[in-house]
Structure 1
């Protein structure tokens, strides 16, 4: 069952970031856009490629008032070991531009509907939460296929645009600087006639 359009399930989780253990409360992040990047496990295969891709682009998300959090069922200590381990040993190379949160009880993964109960890990769920605390976008992949940080950034731009231009919508493949569409039958006809 989709969570889009519903209040994001609240949580407080411990994690690891910038050499320190941290505590993160989703409720205290109201007023910011938030991306939750659920992934199965530290020290695995597809996971580091996703986590590092979002870290590479984290400054672009931050410039748009959006905070990224990685979430897995690993402990904060495992997160620390993974971040600090060199890449040639399956680690993240010593730094990451956003916190990794520990969902040891699996309650948060379950609340967001991404817990694979049989495997005991989160699927690759990605949730965009607006500043009012409502989920506006979600996508979930099965374990073998990673997600795109560039597509997540494009999606953030689109939702930020429509939140400021309430009579407009973003057509397929829209990105910053491209034409939008007025949300009327006439607006759709005009857009389709010129694109």
Structure 2
């Protein structure tokens, strides 16, 4: 079953951010764009490359009004330990949510029950708290933050200009399509 347009359920979790622990709730998502970036586990191999790549694009995402939340089934304390011991993760300034009870991983249908870890799931959440785009990847394949930025920009464009859609490889300023209008005479 698709999760598109599914409203995020209420939640309250702990995150490590800015050298402190902070509560994150659904209410904090509302009114802005958000990305939930699930990854399998701290102290692993592919995960730090993804989180570092995401950090490299974090300022651009914030500039377009989007907050990032990295999420694994580790605790917020393990996130801090990883942050303190990894050169790549030490760069991370966005919130790292701990999900040791698997509340979010289950709600977003990315929990690998047998292993107690999350799949690589990326969820773009609109200002109303609804999932407007998501992708789940194999644990052995890292994601691309530049493409994520492009997708967030496309979702924002479509929300603002509901009668237009973004074709493949669309970037801000590129030509869009208008269903029913751009196809007239091409059938």
Instruction: Please give the TM-score of this superposition, normalised by the length of structure 2.
Output: 0.95
Instruction: Tell me whether 1:154 sits opposite 2:150 in the alignment.
Output: yes
SS at match of 2:81: helix
What residue is the counterpart of 1:84 in the other structure? Answer: 84
Paired residues of 2:52 and 2:91 also in contact (CA < 8 A): no
Q: 2:171 aligns with which of 166, 171, 175?
A: 175
Aligned length: 187
Q: Distance in 1 between matches of 2:14 and 2:46?
A: 23
SS at match of 1:187: coil
Displacement after TM superposition at 1:2 (Å): 2.1
What are structure 2's unaligned runs of at least 5 residues? none
Distance 1:108 1:86, change over 3 A: closer
Displacement after TM superposition at 1:19 (Å): 0.7
What residue is the counterpart of 1:57 in the other structure? Answer: 57
Paired residues of 2:13 and 2:24 also in contact (CA < 8 A): yes
SS at match of 2:183: helix
What residue is the counterpart of 2:5 in the other structure? Answer: 5
What residue is the counterpart of 2:16 in the other structure? Answer: 16
Per-residue CA deviation, residues 163-190 of structure 1 (Å, 9 max, x unaligned), is 1111111111111111001121x31357
What residue is the counterpart of 2:32 in the other structure? Answer: 32
Instruction: List structure 1 runs of 4+ shifted beyond 3 angstroms.
Output: none
Q: Distance in 2 between matches of 1:61 and 1:33?
A: 9
Displacement after TM superposition at 1:29 (Å): 2.0
Q: Distance in 2 between matches of 1:78 and 1:95?
A: 16
Aligned-residue CA RMSD (Å): 1.6
Paired residues of 1:18 and 1:95 also in contact (CA < 8 A): no
Displacement after TM superposition at 1:10 (Å): 2.7
Instruction: Tell me whether 1:100 sits opposite 2:96 in the alignment.
Output: yes
Per-residue CA deviation, residues 114-149 of structure 1 (Å, 9 max, x unaligned), is 001111100000000000111000100121011111
Paired residues of 1:15 and 1:102 also in contact (CA < 8 A): yes
Instruction: Tell me whether 1:121 sits opposite 2:117 in the alignment.
Output: yes
Per-residue CA deviation, residues 59-85 of structure 1 (Å, 9 max, x unaligned), is 111011100000001111110011111
Q: Distance in 2 between matches of 1:183 and 1:97?
A: 40
Displacement after TM superposition at 1:18 (Å): 1.3
